Amino acid sequence: MDLQLTGKKALISAGHKGLGYFIAKRLLEEGASVAICCRKENDLVAALEEYNTLGHAIGSICDFSDPSAVQQWTEDSGSELGGIDICIGNASASGQNLKYGEGVEPWMKSINIDILGNALFYETAKPFLLDSSAASIVQIATITAIEHHDVPITPSYGATKAAAIRMISHLAQTWGADGIRANSISPGPIFVEGHRWDDIRSRMPDIYERDVAMHPQKRMGTGDEVADVVAFLASSRSSWINGANIVVDGGYTKGVNF
């Protein structure tokens, strides 16, 4: 199916690694132009070198916990690309290296990136999105926002991701009439080499094997499987999906929402 993304302009926060890497590659393969941001120069250079073999990609250094930096990156990227059709909110405090019981720091880090950073991202992008014929926002959340997941992670991660899902629902209701759709996705356990589940497999193999055994499909998901869903939601092929939180976990969560 042609996703009709050729010529579309997409901004992806933290689009250099992890799920952001797979999402950026997928959109480039579909013909979109992509702007990414990350915090380290060497990561940015390496990502852009690869991405520009697939299509048109630009990028900047941006700390998503810095409001002025988020606004500047969004405005500059929109101007350089000549517009914004798609915003992918992928930047996150992660929660993996934050510890519960360390006071306000883990919470403020998550709040500043996962809630405030994304809110400013979408707010700053709105004037560009209003000029698009098929504007779409996709927020990367987590199953930890909707169901307890017994893994070594601070509770601020799931709590702020849940708040981000609620923010997206609000944008869908209030910006939908302007032609801007907003959805979120909640990935389950996704194995990406060099990232969270790779680390857990190395340091806590019992937890890794437990989660695989608990999964209906007896495996972790892949970055490509998440990127495929994001690309669909970013495209006009999903034009009647707005305000949804799509769970991408292969059946790992057990709750039913009516």
Distance CA 216, CA 213 (A): 8
Q: Where are the beta strands (DSSP E) in 128-243?
A: 135-140, 180-187
Structurally, how many domains does the chain consist of? Answer: 1
What's the token pair of residue 70?
Answer: 């988020």
Q: pTM surpassing 0.85? A: yes
Question: Which DSSP state fits 145?
Answer: G
| Residue 84 belongs to domain spanning | 9-193+222-245
- Classify residue 209: in a domain, yes or no: no
- Classify residue 210: in a domain, yes or no: no
User: Is residue 149 classed as helix, strand or coil in its secondary structure?
Assistant: coil
Length of the chain, in residues: 258
Q: Which residue has the higher pLDDT, 157 or 90?
A: 90
- Classify residue 207: in a domain, yes or no: no
Q: Where are the beta strands (DSSP E) in the chain?
A: 9-13, 33-38, 57-61, 86-89, 135-140, 180-187, 245-248
Residue 96 has pLDDT above 90, yes or no: no
pLDDT tens digits, 238-256 = 999 999 999 999 999 988 7
Distance CA 104, CA 82 (A): 40
Q: For 46-50, 53-57, 100-104, which range has the lowest pLDDT when averaged over its residues?
A: 100-104
User: Is residue 34 classed as helix, strand or coil in its secondary structure?
Assistant: strand
Say which CATH number the domain at 111 has: 3.40.50.720
User: Is residue 258 classed as helix, strand or coil in its secondary structure?
Assistant: coil
- Classify residue 48: in a domain, yes or no: yes
